[in-house]
């Protein structure tokens, strides 16, 4: 009978510990869910650095420095703008 009483006591303690742990984990889960929905504090900085990395990769691939790459991009943009303007003028003259 004593062994059965000890078993019951130990079982109750284990249930209490498990219940406490479950409550703590549920609280942790709620906190983590709240953090997941929060925006990343440094997302703008991350985007800027990723853009810079893409530019550096492109410059390395082309074998030029970043200044040369910037000039090429600027020239390409100007050419594209002129082509677009010419297409608009051509469409209007038809």
Per-residue confidence in pLDDT tens, the chain, 94 aa: 678 778 888 999 999 999 999 999 999 999 999 888 888 889 999 999 999 899 889 888 888 888 888 888 888 888 888 788 877 877 777 6
Report pLDDT for 82.
79
Report pLDDT for 32.
93
Distance CA 7, CA 13 (A): 10
Buried b (16+ CB within 10 A) or exposed e, 27-43: eeeeeeeeeeeeeeeee
Report pLDDT for 7.
87
Report pLDDT for 26.
97
Instruction: Evaluate if pTM is beyond 0.95.
Output: no
Torsion angle in degrees (nearest 10) through CA of 71, 74, 75, 81: 180
């Amino acid at each position: 009978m004593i062994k059965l009483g000890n078993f019951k006591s130990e079982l109750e303690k284990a249930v209490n510990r498990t219940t406490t742990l479950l409550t703590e984990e549920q609280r942790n889960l709620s906190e983590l869910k709240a953090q997941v929905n929060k925006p990343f504090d440094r997302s703008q900085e991350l985007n800027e650095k990723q853009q810079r990395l893409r530019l550096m990769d492109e410059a390395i691939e082309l074998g030029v420095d970043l200044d040369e790459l910037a000039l090429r991009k600027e020239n390409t943009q100007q050419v594209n703008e002129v082509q677009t303007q010419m297409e608009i003028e051509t469409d209007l003259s038809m």
